[in-house]
Amino acid sequence: MARRLWGAVLLCAVLLAVAVISGVVNHVRPGTATAEPVRPVPQVGDCQPVPDPQAVPPSGFGLPSPVLAPCDGPRAAEVILVFPDYAAADVVTADAVSPLDRCAELMDPYLGLPSTPVGPTAWVPAQWVVVDLAGPDARQRAAGQVWAACLIHPVSPTGDAPVFLGSARGVMSRPGPESAVLSACLDEPDGGPVSCLEPHRSETLGYRSVPRGTPEEELQASCAELVARSTAMPDPTAGGALTTTVTRVPVDTNYSDAVPTALCNVDTTDPARSLTSTLRNLGTTPPPLT
C-alpha cells in the first residue's frame, strides 16, 4: 500500500510538472539530441560520489568503472594515483611492482599516517581502508582512454556502508570524526569491532607478525613507541587512565607456515570508562573519555 501511495504521489508530481511546462511552452521546437560528453581521465583527488549515480559495470580491463569526478563533501572513494596506460603499467618484469602494490604503497602517506619503520616485523597501521583499481567505462574506452586509477575507500567491520566525510588526503592526521570513521576499535579489550564513534574500551593502532622466539619485551617496547607516535600525546597513559597492551592473535593451525600476529592496543584502565573517538593525533587535547 505504501508503495502504491508513493507511486501515486510521484505520478501526480510528474503530471503537475508536465502541466506547468505545457502552460509555458506552447509548442515543441525541433532540435538535435546531443550525447552527454565523455568523462575525462580522472585526476588525483577526484572521487566517487555518494551514492554512485550509476551502476559500476566492468571496464575493458576487467576493472570496475564507477563515476569519478571532482567533488566536495562525503565520498565513497577517492583517487590517489592514475596510470595513464594501464596495459603498460601492468607489464610484469623481474623487478616490476604491480599497479595494485604501487597503490598500496601510496595509501598510508596519502591518508596522512606518520611514517613507520619498514620491515617484516614492523607495526602496520590498523585502519578500515582498502585500495583497489578502477578503469574507463565503455564510452571512455571508445574515446581512446586506457587509464587505470587507484581508489581508496573505507570499509566497515560491522557491515555498514561508511564514507569519507571529506577529502581523504591527510585525513588520518586530523583528529576527530573524519579519522575516527576509519580507525579500528573494539568494544572490549578482547571483544569485537565497533565504530570508534561509539563508546568503546579499546583502540587498535597497529598489527605485526611475530616470528617465534620474539622477546615479549621487544613487542611491548615497540608497541609503546607506536602509541606515542600515533597519538602524539605527551603522556600516552593520560595519567594512568589508558593502558598500552599487546594482544597475540591465535595462529590458524590449518596452515603449517602461518606466522603469529600481534595487535598493539590502547585500553581504558578502568573497565567502567569508555572512549568515544579515536586517539590518533590527539596531541595535547584531553582524551575522549567518559
| Residue length of the chain | 290
Whether residue 47 lies inside any domain: the answer is yes
Same-domain pairing of 245 and 135: no
Contact by Cβ (8 Å): 226, 145? no
Shared domain check, 287 and 226: yes
Closest to 46 measured CA to CA, from 109, 134, 113, 108:
134
69 shares its domain with 158: yes
82 in a structural domain: yes
* Cβ-contact 245, 196 below 8 angstroms: no
As a whole number of angstroms, the distance between CA 51 and CA 67 comes to 10
Residue 147 in domain = yes
Angstrom distance (rounded) from CA 75 to CA 164? 5
Q: How far apart are CA 46 and CA 82, in angstroms?
A: 10
Summarised one tens digit per residue, pLDDT across range 141-192 is 899 998 999 999 888 877 777 888 889 999 988 888 888 888 999 999 988 8
Whether residues 193 and 287 fall in one domain: yes
Q: Which of 161, 179, 158 is nearest to 170 (CA)?
A: 179
Q: Which domain holds residue 51?
A: 39-173
d(CA 224, CA 244): 7
Q: How many domains does the chain have?
A: 2
15 located within any domain? no
Cell triple for 51:
551514492
pTM over 0.85: no
Supply the DSSP symbol for 268.
E
Note the pLDDT tens digit of each residue in 209-225: 888 888 889 899 999 99
Cis peptide before 157 (omega within 30 of 0): no
Average pLDDT of the chain is 79
CB atoms within 10 A of CB 290: 9
pLDDT (tens digit per residue) in 34-67: 668 888 999 999 999 886 545 455 545 567 888 8
pLDDT value of position 255:
62
191 and 168 within one domain: no
Render 194-241 in DSSP notation, one character per residue.
Answer: E-TTS-BSEEEEEEEE--TT--HHHHHHHHHHHHHHHH--SSTTTTTT
Does residue 16 belong to any structural domain of this protein? no
The neighbouring-strand residues paired with 208 are 262
